[in-house]
């Protein structure tokens, strides 16, 4: 006999925030993998020392433990980020993920706004990861009895996710408001200068295709003001309750940042923003059906093999009449009935 659904409380530890963690970790890991220490930690005017260590804080900086061993520290950071990205034991890797990201942002000179946002998001994720007892953050969200302790624990996690959404939404609000205060953005010409910039603008191949459009004032102004309007819309998505408009904004946001990656060549920044968009628009009770997709693919592969084997033997393949399994959305825990499988095969 299973407990009634009303006696259980949903919890926020789903694969939604897990996928966001993975994308954020992969972004920093990719930056460390493809760049040498001499590029990431380089002296500059007014900053003669690299890495930038300064006065030691309450939390030691990974890259300042021994500044002469930056290469070793970099590979330690990559290893930590790889484990965090895998989703293993978020309770232990969540704090380490933040430590590595914070250490990188604090000590390296060549960081961008995406790196700074990843440091902030991983810090805000710490309460959620510390209370996540799953082995993998890809696993289905557990459910708990509706006791005071269970409700408080789930409530803390839900509040943490709400703060994360607010943080991401404010990033887009600030981006839109600051653009509108700049003359080039308010007069509708900013994208012309960005796309023509030799460092961040169109590649020669893209310029051949899209460059002529940038000489049309109407197109340039519409695109420039459209960026501002869209960033305001992404902020407004914080207040949407219905699933469909949120998911439409999510897809539009992913497409928007994919365009940034193609035009400006900022793939690591885009990965961070993908994670941020998932946190903003995908609720914890809307998990991704990774397990269901994997099972469907596995079943298709097995069925194809069976057909081939039977065609060689000249026999008719068996037909599965009933195959039931618990959904990948089903929780695990004291309130969950768990998965079940009932099969019957007809000759």
The pLDDT, as a whole number, for residue 5 is 44
Going by pLDDT thresholds of 50, 70 and 90, the confidence category of residue 147 is confident
Going by pLDDT thresholds of 50, 70 and 90, the confidence category of residue 83 is very high
What integer is the mean pLDDT of 297-323?
Answer: 69
CA torsion, ordered 109, 114, 115, 121, to nearest 10 deg: 150
Question: CB of 144 within 8 A of CB of 153?
Answer: yes
What integer is the mean pLDDT of 258-277?
Answer: 92
Give whole-number Cα distances, 154 to 10, 151, 164, 284, 337, in Å.
7, 5, 15, 11, 19
pLDDT in tens, 209-224: 887 888 899 999 999 9
Enter the pTM of the model.
0.83
Using the predicted structure, report yes or no on whether residue 285 has a pLDDT greater than 80: yes
Question: CB of 143 within 8 A of CB of 333?
Answer: yes
Among the ranges given (148-162, 172-186, 238-252, 331-345), the one the predictor scored with the smallest mean pLDDT: 331-345
The pLDDT, as a whole number, for residue 45 is 67
Using the predicted structure, report yes or no on whether residue 344 has a pLDDT greater than 90: no
Considering 85-99, 184-198, 307-321, the range whose residues carry the highest mean pLDDT is 85-99
The pLDDT, as a whole number, for residue 211 is 79
Using the predicted structure, report yes or no on whether residue 196 has a pLDDT greater than 80: yes
What integer is the mean pLDDT of 291-318?
Answer: 74
Q: What is the mean pLDDT of the chain?
A: 85
Q: What is the DSSP string of 156-172?
A: HHHHHHHHHHHHHHHHH
Identify the residue with better confidence: 43 or 342. 43
pLDDT in tens, 96-138: 999 999 999 999 988 888 999 999 999 999 999 999 989 999 9
Going by pLDDT thresholds of 50, 70 and 90, the confidence category of residue 208 is confident
Among the ranges given (16-25, 76-85, 144-153), the one the predictor scored with the smallest mean pLDDT: 144-153
Going by pLDDT thresholds of 50, 70 and 90, the confidence category of residue 252 is very high
- Closest Cα to residue 64, out of 32, 97, 31, 107? 107
Q: Is the peptide bond before 304 cis (omega within 30 degrees of 0)?
A: no
Report helix angle 267-281 to 15-34, nearest 10. 170
Using the predicted structure, report yes or no on whether residue 345 has a pLDDT greater than 50: no
Query: Domains of the chain: which residue ranges?
Result: 7-281, 290-346
């Amino acid at each position: 006999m299973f407990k009634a659904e009303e006696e259980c409380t949903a919890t926020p530890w789903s694969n939604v925030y897990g996928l966001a963690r993975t994308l954020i970790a992969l972004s920093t890991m990719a930056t460390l993998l493809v760049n040498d220490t001499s590029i990431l930690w380089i002296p500059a005017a007014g900053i003669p020392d690299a890495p930038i260590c300064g006065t030691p804080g309450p939390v030691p900086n990974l890259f300042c433990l021994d500044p002469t061993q930056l290469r070793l520290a970099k590979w330690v950071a990559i290893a930590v980020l790889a484990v965090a990205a895998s989703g293993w034991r978020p309770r232990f890797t969540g704090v380490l993920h933040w430590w590595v990201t914070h250490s990188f942002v604090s000590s390296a000179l060549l960081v961008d706004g995406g790196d700074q946002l990843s440091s902030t998001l991983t810090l805000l994720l710490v309460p959620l990861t510390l209370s996540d007892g799953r082995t993998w953050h890809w696993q289905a969200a557990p459910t708990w009895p509706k006791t005071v302790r269970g409700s408080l624990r789930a409530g803390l996690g839900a509040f943490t996710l709400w703060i994360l959404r607010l943080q991401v939404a404010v990033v887009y609000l600030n981006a839109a408001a600051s653009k509108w205060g700049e003359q080039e953005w308010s007069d509708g010409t900013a994208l012309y200068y960005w796309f023509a910039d030799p460092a961040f603008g169109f590649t020669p191949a893209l310029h051949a295709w899209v460059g002529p459009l940038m000489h049309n004032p109407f197109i340039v102004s519409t695109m420039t003001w459209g960026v501002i309007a869209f960033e305001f819309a992404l902020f407004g998505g914080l207040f949407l309750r219905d699933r469909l408009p949120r998911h439409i904004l999510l897809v539009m946001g992913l497409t928007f940042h994919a365009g940034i990656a193609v035009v400006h060549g900022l793939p690591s920044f885009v990965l961070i923003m993908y994670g941020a968009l998932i946190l903003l628009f995908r609720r914890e009770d809307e998990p991704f059906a990774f397990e269901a997709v994997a099972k469907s693919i596995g079943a298709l592969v097995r069925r194809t093999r069976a057909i081939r084997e039977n065609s060689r033997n000249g026999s008719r393949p068996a037909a599965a009449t009933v195959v039931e399994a618990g959904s990948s959305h089903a929780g695990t825990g004291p309130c969950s009935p768990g998965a079940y499988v009932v099969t019957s095969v007809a000759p």
